[in-house]
Structure 1
């Protein structure tokens, strides 16, 4: 990046708990500036009391509300004059079989994780190009998931998976459309299972399974409904702080990758998906011969 200014200005969404909150703490500890947004910014009151307004600005932001997004960027410009790094971290989920998930809940997941994130993304691109000092550009980190690369092995999270697949696709396309002169660099972060407050908050929709699913306790979603996700030993939880330390390093890369798969579980699942695709293509490649006009 052209920017050598220190401290950098970070804009991070979804900062109430978990990875977002941990990243805010790390950035502040490193002497940088953070605009931390959340639906409930009072969750950041302890940090607001600890750091001066020249270092931390806590904002209310529901990323499904375009007017709130524009207002947040406007306040950031007024306070700090620029944004060096934007981290699209806000998101939500609910569990349920694809067939049975309440449509309104499924649409809410897509509205937040895809459309909300996309609206922040578009405003970030505009801000990096038109509002930042000439040539500065910016870094855009999209908090996706390894589930944006493969839905295998994650029964009950189909609508979350769909939202991340959509985010992956549109971000890849966006990366091909930007003029290199704008100096906007994008990375899709694709972590595995990171310890957060989410398991204790996640809901099922519907609450009870359809009898056809409940009749077979070996079905993945039927078995999952009986699990204590908070203390589940079958999930390879990763330490949140260690993960954000890696993300912090990714943000400093001069030539960052478009995709950054984080965690051995994520790497293993992604490699399995690549191998499966390669195997299918190799097996049936001859079926594509002679199709051109």
Structure 2
């Protein structure tokens, strides 16, 4: 499998939910080994036991990691290299959706992603990748491609992750480091992060907006999102954005440049 077979991955927030499904789907597609970097030690140990039962020993490692702590994040990379000798794929998956604790939300969703990208791009993937190319997948959200007034700070973090991915996913960065960047944008998914609480925002006014604007959605399973990750890794070009929603085949989103948007708007005005 292109980009996966025989490689080693590190997944943040990998001890449960979509992160653990990513690990399993990667291993099913020929991944050699995976590190689960997660702050929840109990779930991390259980996840490794789960992976060992399904895929055998020496296939997985858990490292307790707060992604907002540079030293802890770097330790996850170091222990991965110590055990598996390589690191090829970084999945920046750790995230929370809770505007009520927005400083922590920004720290995990965006700052943690930045830390992971810098460690992966500047230090570990170029030096320890198994073959020619390393891969960094930043997990955003469909909310990173739209607006939702009930949780503006969460939405902003996901917009930021997409901008970060595209800016590092340029040809100049690829030429110097041979690391391919991808953004994965899951739609509403059946996880602990799902839109199931009215208290994860800035107060009653935002709760009212939530009630008024939240459409009916059918939550997709985490397994569909994990398959979408494989699709993006196999098919995605550097800097590309992939959406996985409604349990359907992933599709790529191309954001027009500012100049093209200006031309489009001018053309629209001429037609009025």
Which TM bucket (shorter chain)? 0.7 to 0.9
Measured in 2, the distance between the counterparts of 1:83 and 1:12 equals 11
2:244 maps to which of 238, 242, 262? 262
1:138 to 120, 131, 134: 134
1:41-190 pair list within 5 angstroms: 41-50=41-50, 51=52, 52-95=56-99, 105-126=101-122, 127-132=124-129, 136-151=132-147, 154-176=148-170, 177-180=172-175, 182-190=177-185
SS, match of residue 10 in structure 1: strand
Contact 1:88 1:117 in 2 (8 A): yes
Q: Could you tell me whether the CA contact under 8 Å between 1:12 and 1:86 is conserved in 2?
A: yes
Aligned to 1:19: 18
The alignment's TM-score, normalised by the length of structure 2, stands at 0.79
| Runs of 4 or more above 3 Å deviation | 1-4, 28-31, 199-203, 253-257, 264-268, 277-286
Mark the runs of 5 or more structure 1 residues left unpaired by the alignment: 96-101, 228-232, 287-293
Instruction: Please list every run of 5 or more consecutive structure 2 residues that lacks an aligned counterpart in the other structure.
Output: none
How far off its partner does 1:205 sit? 3.8
Cα distance in 2 for residues equivalent to 1:136 and 1:41: 33
Task: Report the CA distance between 1:53 and its aligned residue.
Answer: 4.8
TM-score for the superposition, normalised by structure 1: 0.74
TM-superposition CA deviations, 1:156-197 (whole Å, max 9, x none): 111011111111112211122414253211111122112212
Larger radius of gyration: 1
Structure with greater contact order relative to length (CA < 8 Å, sep ≥ 6):
1
C-alpha RMSD over aligned residues: 3.5
Q: Secondary structure at the match of 1:259?
A: strand
